[in-house]
Structure formats: C-alpha cells, structure tokens
Amino acid sequence: MSTPTRQVPLLDLAAQHSQIREEILAELIPLIDSQRFIMGPAVGELECKIAGYTQSRYAIGCASGSDALLLAWMALELGPGDKVITTPYSFFATAGSLARIGVEPVFVDIDPLTFNLDPNQVEDVLKRNTDVWAIQPVHLFGGCADMDPLLELGQKYGAVVVEDAAQAIGAEYKGRRCGAIGAMGCFSFYPGKNLGAYGDAGLVTTNDEELAKLLDKLRLHGGRDKYFHEVVGINSRIDTLQAAVLKIKMRHLDHWTEQRQQNAANYMRLFAEFDLPITLPSIAPYQTRHVFNQFTIQCEQRDALKAHLAAQGIGSEIYYPLPLHLQQCFSELGHEKGDLPISERLAEQALSIPVYPELKIEDQDYVVRTIAEFYKAAK
Ligand SMILES: Cc1ncc(COP(=O)(O)O)c(C=O)c1O
C-alpha cells in the first residue's frame, strides 16, 4: 500500500496549543507558584466570562460536562421514579447522568437533518407519561435543537427544559445563546470541545438565582462554608488550572469558531463539485449561529469509507455507533432495534470529518477528493 500524500487528523490540539503556548504559560506559572489550586481566583473570573459569553446571569464551574448534567439533575431534586425525555443520539453522559441517580431516560427520536430531538415526537411521549419532570435537548455537533416548541411543551406539561450544550458553546438559536434558553445549560470543556481545557472541566449556566446558589453548593459537597453541609452534594469543583487555561482560550474562541464556520462553508462548496451519495449537514432555519464542533456527513458504505480515509491518512470518527436506547446498560428499558429508526440509521451512516480551526483548505480539498475517489471506485 502506498504512503498517503498527506496526514489530516480529525483534530489537531497541538496546532492550537502552539498558537497560545506563551499566553498559557504566562498564566499558569504564577498560578502554580501561588499553589492556589482549589477554587482560586481564576474560577470566578472564568465563570464571569462564560456567563457573559453565554448571555446567562450565572455560571457555575464543575469538574466535567458529565458532572454539569449530574449537578443539574441534583439541583432539580430528581431521583428514582422520575423520568426525563432525551435523545438517544448523543454521548453517553446525556443519559448516564440521569441513570446514575435512578432517573429513567425516556428516549425520543430525532430530526434526521439536525440530529436533534424532534419536538413533535416529544409531545406524543409527554401525553403518555405523567412522571416526566424534564426535557433534555442536546445541541449536537454545534447545532441547536428547536428550543421554542420544546419550551412550550415544557410549560404545557410541567417539565423543566435543561440543555445539554456540551458541544455548542457560542451556538445561537434565533439570536439566543445555547445554554441560556432553558432553565439550565450544561457545558463540557473536554479537550476536543470548541472550548477545550487541558484535562476535564465543565460548567452549568442558569438565569435563576436560587438554582445558581444551589448548584454552587452542590459542587462543594453541599456547603460553601467548609465542614458545614446544608445539602448532600459532591466534590465537583472546576480545577483552577483548567479555569486559567479556559480563561485564556476564551480570548480566541470567536476566532476559532469563525474558522470552523469557514471550514464548513468550504466543505459545502468543495462537495458541491461532485455528485456523491452523501448528505451534508444542514443548518436549520432557526439556527442563527452554528459552531461546528463536528462536521458530520451521512453516507453510504460508511465503514468502508472510514477505512479508506484512514488508509489515505485522514482521520474521521463515528459519533455515535450505537444509539443510547440500544446500549446494554439500558436493556432494562426494554428497547429493541427498530424502536427509534432515525437514530439507528444515523448510527450506521454518520461520519464526522476534520473541521478543526487550523485545518487548511488544501487539507479539505484532499478530504473531499479522497471521498469522491472512494465512491468513483465503488461504482
Ligand atoms: C453531548 C455531550 N454531553 C455530555 C458530555 C460530557 O462531557 P464530559 O466529557 O466533559 O464529561 C459530552 C462530552 O463528551 C457531550 O458531547
């Protein structure tokens, strides 16, 4: 087999770090010298910045995006016997955060174009279930779920809307930032996210003062005053070193987002030159800012295409190969293949290709040509 002419990884974090290395070190070295690692000043500074950025009144940092979700459910005092409607087409934490406190995820299928919860199907499920206390849309791949109908349904059926905005910092729905639309917004700063830490970190946003106070306590074992616990919480502080890294990265986030958007637009143009059996990502009419955490195509012969790309030095990833309702750990819910057909089809056809900010146009051209060659050879 011949050596690929280029290497195009799915994501190149080293390229991003090299641009900001000096800025990061200038922030981290004094912090390390001060040894103030737990809830140091960078935590509050980051929280202020993110509250402003997401147009939320409050932002509460925590240890990961998974914990952000867990803290949100804890703040709503959900537990065994309660149900939350959510999407089966997401990262595991979306449903895992519910299951680990005994809440039943009620999976509802998605819109095939946006990959996000289908509000029409949500209403059908709400009509049949009386113990649904929340609706959890996920703004998948940087595109928003259709929030207005979900909020209306929440009002009508008495369910709180909590946004899993892990992949969507800066995304906008009708001019409103994701994470500030529902009662709470949960963010992940996992390194591969648009705003990625140098390890794990997460955050919850809210406009509700009472929820903000409770979340602040819950992440600190249930009490702001050391050794006094008003409620039972968990240890889920955001690491001060991570907060400092994120604070610096915030300066660059809009520029990186614009580069992602430009790369997405480039793909649209480049793919338009070929007639290929693939569906490109679509931007919903209500979406005023897509942040392209992923550029995900739907394609025929997906696994063979992925192998072909790998052989040509191109990274790609399957988000997600098995929908959540079919995961072994949720077998007790009694789902079978065929229950949620759109999610199941996407699990077989979706492929995310490189869209990271530092990607070069020549790399994109190479990715598109390599995909076109694959389908030409398969004819
Ligand atoms: C949609 C979604 N929800 C939740 C999470 C969990 O975030 P973390 O990995 O920071 O725990 C992620 C991140 O992978 C995610 O993509």
Local confidence band at 378 (pLDDT 50, 70, 90 cut-offs): confident
The answer, yes or no, to whether residue 2 has pLDDT greater than 80, is no
Local confidence band at 75 (pLDDT 50, 70, 90 cut-offs): very high
Amino acid occupying residue 136:
Q
Q: What is the pLDDT of residues 316-346, one digit of tens each?
A: 999 999 999 999 999 999 999 999 999 999 9
Q: Assess whether 147 and 202 both reside in one domain.
A: yes
What is the CATH number for 298? 3.90.1150.10
Mean pLDDT of 27-35: 97
| Residue 2 located in a structural domain | no
For position 170, what pLDDT does the model report?
98
Q: Assess whether 210 and 283 both reside in one domain.
A: no
**Ligand 1 nearest-atom number relative to CA 64:** 10
How far away, in angstroms, is 93 Cα from ligand 1 center? 6
For position 5, what pLDDT does the model report?
77
**Ligand 1 nearest-atom number relative to CA 139:** 1
For position 230, what pLDDT does the model report?
96
Q: What is the mean pLDDT of the chain?
A: 97
Q: Is 143 in the pocket of ligand 1 (CB under 6 A)?
A: no
Q: Assess whether 197 and 318 both reside in one domain.
A: no
Residues 6 or more apart whose Cβ sits within 8 Å of residue 370 = 308, 309, 312, 314
The answer, yes or no, to whether residue 375 has pLDDT greater than 80, is yes
Which of 248, 265, 280 is where one domain is finished? 248
For every residue of 28-51, DSSP letters joined together read: HHHHHHHT--BS-HHHHHHHHHHH
How far away, in angstroms, is 14 Cα from ligand 1 center? 21
How far away, in angstroms, is 179 Cα from ligand 1 center? 14
Q: Is 93 in the pocket of ligand 1 (CB under 6 A)?
A: yes
How far away, in angstroms, is 228 Cα from ligand 1 center? 31
How far away, in angstroms, is 293 Cα from ligand 1 center? 12
Q: Is 194 in the pocket of ligand 1 (CB under 6 A)?
A: no
Q: Assess whether 295 and 237 both reside in one domain.
A: no
**In the chain, where does DSSP find H-type helix?**
13-34, 41-53, 65-75, 93-99, 119-128, 147-157, 209-218, 240-271, 302-311, 341-349, 361-378
Which of 248, 271, 305 is where one domain is finished? 248
Q: What is the pLDDT of residues 349-365, one digit of tens each?
A: 999 999 999 999 999 99
For position 1, what pLDDT does the model report?
57
| Residue 302 located in a structural domain | yes
Mean pLDDT of 28-51: 97
For position 18, what pLDDT does the model report?
98
| Residue 3 located in a structural domain | no
Q: Assess whether 145 and 293 both reside in one domain.
A: no
| Residue 285 located in a structural domain | yes
- Is 301 within 8 Å of 133 (Cβ atoms)? no
For position 130, what pLDDT does the model report?
84
Q: How far apart are the C-alpha atoms of 165 and 176, rounded to whole Å?
A: 13
Candidates 195, 192, 181; CA nearest to 137 is: 181
Local confidence band at 20 (pLDDT 50, 70, 90 cut-offs): very high
| Residue 174 located in a structural domain | yes
Domain hosting residue 261, numbered range: 251-378
Residues 6 or more apart whose Cβ sits within 8 Å of residue 25 = none
Q: Assess whether 308 and 230 both reside in one domain.
A: no
Q: Assess whether 256 and 321 both reside in one domain.
A: yes
Q: Assess whether 267 and 325 both reside in one domain.
A: yes
Q: What is the pLDDT of residues 94-148, one digit of tens each?
A: 999 999 999 999 999 999 999 999 999 999 999 998 899 999 999 999 999 999 9
Candidates 179, 188, 141, 175; CA nearest to 161 is: 179
**Ligand 1 nearest-atom number relative to CA 138:** 1
| Residue 8 located in a structural domain | no
What is the CATH number for 238? 3.40.640.10
| Residue 4 located in a structural domain | no
The answer, yes or no, to whether residue 186 has pLDDT greater than 90, is yes
How far away, in angstroms, is 64 Cα from ligand 1 center? 8
- Is 294 within 8 Å of 167 (Cβ atoms)? yes
Which of 217, 248, 279 is where one domain is finished? 248
Task: Specify the number of domains making up the chain.
Answer: 2
Q: H helices then E strands: how many in the chain?
A: 11, 13
SS3 276: coil
Q: Assess whether 265 and 303 both reside in one domain.
A: yes
How far away, in angstroms, is 63 Cα from ligand 1 center? 11
| pTM for this predicted structure | 0.97
Mean pLDDT of 176-199: 98
| Residue 9 located in a structural domain | no
**Ligand 1 nearest-atom number relative to CA 97:** 4
Within a 10 A sphere around the Cβ of 258, how many other Cβ atoms? 12
The answer, yes or no, to whether residue 288 has pLDDT greater than 80, is yes
Q: Assess whether 176 and 35 both reside in one domain.
A: yes
**Ligand 1 nearest-atom number relative to CA 140:** 1
Q: Assess whether 95 and 225 both reside in one domain.
A: yes
Q: Assess whether 273 and 185 both reside in one domain.
A: no
Residue 197: both structure tokens together: 């830490």
